[in-house]
Amino acid sequence: MGRYMWQVRYTAEGARGLLSQGGTARKAAITQMVESVGGRVESVYYAFGPDDLIVIGEVPNEVAAAAMAIRTAASGFAVSRTTELLTPEQIDAATQLDVEYTPPAGS
């Protein structure tokens, strides 16, 4: 399973729903959504700044992650950014791959 970070910004309507339902009810709804695609939620945090909510969790693959992003966007209540997270061991493996790369030519 891949680990992802979802950074969520509520629309005005979504913020009204949060006011009505509360944070723990939204956490339960998020957990249900992630579990419905075969994943699990590791952590949920509300935040100040450009993002209202940060979720860390695992889902089986990119298709599951995309399905959740589409569903969220279609609701009109929130906008999310999905970032796939890699472990230090995965980066170690990436540094060992032989990659052919030609940098852009400078002027």
Domain CATH code at residue 32: 3.30.70.920
Q: Is residue 100 part of a domain?
A: no
Q: Is residue 105 part of a domain?
A: no
| Predicted pLDDT of residue 63 | 96
Q: pLDDT band for 86, please (50, 70, 90 cuts).
A: very high
Q: Is residue 33 part of a domain?
A: yes
Q: Is residue 99 part of a domain?
A: no
Q: Is residue 75 part of a domain?
A: yes
Q: Is residue 95 part of a domain?
A: no
Domain containing 70: what range? Answer: 2-87
Q: How far is the C-alpha of 17 from the C-alpha of 57, rounded, in Å?
A: 23
Does pLDDT of 97 surpass 70? yes
Structural domains of the chain, count? 1
The pLDDT tens digits for 13-64 are 999 999 999 999 999 999 999 999 999 999 999 999 999 999 999 999 999 9
Look at residues 46, 26, 38 and name the one whose alpha carbon lies nearest to residue 68.
38
- Write the CB contacts of 16 (distance below 8 Å, at least 6 apart in sequence): none
Q: Is residue 96 part of a domain?
A: no
- H/E element, 12: helix 12-21
